[in-house]
Structure 1
């Protein structure tokens, strides 16, 4: 398990059944140098254990190889200073989704590109745009799910669609969501939502 230790400016790895962590990126002190990090907000790991860190206050995504003592910048853009989360685009090892809670967009970004390939913000609802998007996940079909924090809902973008639909929250159903932070699925596609306002995790059974 890899943990974004934001306030300690590092990424920690916990081996299975171990309570002891190893630092795999950063030094524990805030830094703009490639040997350090400044308030990392997300991490993804590839099959070869390369660690990609969303280094928020340094406005970059940095690659750290196994046993590396410094990183390599693969994305650099000032827009990343207000970002919350990062996940892989399904089926890709060099593209990520990044949520920008300031511009209210989800970027699709390729490594080593100066600008995002595309962005998502529109929602097919009365409230027709994202507002402070935070955590994200995808399902086995390549659909993207976004925790739309200030709109108190979960929005799904079908694969290859640029308009989202509301799947939990402001649909008039129950339970309601008060500032959802993050999302995950289990193997049966039941959805779990971390809710900031209520300090709880809510399960939505597969429909």
Structure 2
């Protein structure tokens, strides 16, 4: 193992939903508008050095709020960075090199087409990585470094992987671009069934057009889906045949009642506030459930020419202190926005 790689057991990791619950305490917060680059370099240049990223899609935190992990898509790796960084240490360490294929990293075959599209960490410290393009699979690594291909297209109904969520019971929810659906699997990656959509693409209440980020409300089982090409957030109740539009749905645009290719969604514990990574509007917005429009939290399309502005938003997360982390896919950076109350 080199000094740029780390043993997975060096850092215990936790369920993302535990961190999401902390959004409840910051749901009425404001954030400073100058984001701090905490992963990637200040120039935003793509590369595979430890202070660089190349098209990062998603991130997740460890249980002690010490490190966050980034799905570094084009580099085919998962990078780890310190949470207590305020721009003074942007050098990451390779937690998992997806195309390595060596004895120390036997999880993935030596196939440079394998690129992580999203990352999720469950309540039992397992890490899940989904690959949206080739070969359309979900891989699981346990804290003791035993690994498995949990779901793949050869032995399941899954066709592609754009988003993933694992609930407290270990059920795995996957947004499937090619089936325009959300699928649910048991903890072993078996018995996959469509629980939302699956009625070809469209903008009807029972349809999606490329579902992406997903979030499951643990109390109610409601599923929130970023409906990427319909520019809306849909909520599906357990057992329902149709979803309800809770944000957007007014065409692509930057007005307060519109979204533009939303790709990530977080909901507070009481399902009162919805945070959205509004990708092509280069912003994070917050909607109150039942409202006709949202409010900008950080970013905005009018600011994209500024050197410190967001360009294309990917994943969004909160740390334990309520600071907001945003993945900028085009600028190859993770930005941290401090709470400003």
Q: TM-score range with shorter-chain normalisation?
A: 0.7 to 0.9
1:63 aligned counterpart, secondary structure: strand
Structure with a larger share of its residues in strand: 1
Q: Deviations over 1:96-134 (max 9, x none)?
A: 1111112211111224455513342179x9724111111
The gaps in structure 2 that reach 5 residues or longer are 1-60, 62-68, 291-341
User: Does 2:92 match 1:10?
Assistant: no
What's the TM-score once normalised by structure 1's chain length? 0.80
2:74 aligned counterpart, secondary structure: helix
User: Does 2:120 match 1:44?
Assistant: yes
Which residue is equivalent to 2:234? Answer: 155
Which residue is equivalent to 2:285? Answer: 202
Aligned match for 2:267, one of 163, 180, 185: 185
Counterparts of 1:174 and 1:108, CA distance in 2: 33
Q: Deviations over 1:111-168 (max 9, x none)?
A: 4455513342179x97241111111112242211001111111100013323211111
Larger radius of gyration: 2
Which residue is equivalent to 1:25? Answer: 96
> Compared with structure 1, are the counterparts of its residues 126 and 117 closer, same or farther at alpha carbon in structure 2 (3 Å cutoff)?
closer
> Compared with structure 1, are the counterparts of its residues 76 and 84 closer, same or farther at alpha carbon in structure 2 (3 Å cutoff)?
same
Matches within 5 A, 1:112-131: 112-113=188-189, 116-121=192-197, 127-128=204-205, 129-131=207-209
| C-alpha contact (below 8 Å) 1:53/1:63 kept by paired residues | yes
Structure of greater relative contact order (alpha carbons < 8 Å, 6+ residues apart): 2
User: Does 2:172 match 1:86?
Assistant: no
| C-alpha contact (below 8 Å) 1:65/1:71 kept by paired residues | yes
**Over aligned residues, Cα RMSD in angstroms?**
3.1
User: Does 2:160 match 1:106?
Assistant: no
Indicate the larger mover: 20-29 or 148-157.
20-29
What's the TM-score once normalised by structure 2's chain length? 0.51
| C-alpha contact (below 8 Å) 2:215/2:266 kept by paired residues | yes
Aligned length, in residue pairs? 202
Counterparts of 2:128 and 2:76, CA distance in 1: 14
Which residue is equivalent to 1:35? Answer: 108
The gaps in structure 1 that reach 5 residues or longer are none
Counterparts of 2:97 and 2:159, CA distance in 1: 18
Indicate the larger mover: 99-108 or 44-53.
44-53
Which residue is equivalent to 1:58? Answer: 135
Counterparts of 1:186 and 1:127, CA distance in 2: 26
**Cα distance, 1:182 vs. partner?**
1.0
Q: Deviations over 1:77-108 (max 9, x none)?
A: 156563211101x3321x21111112211111
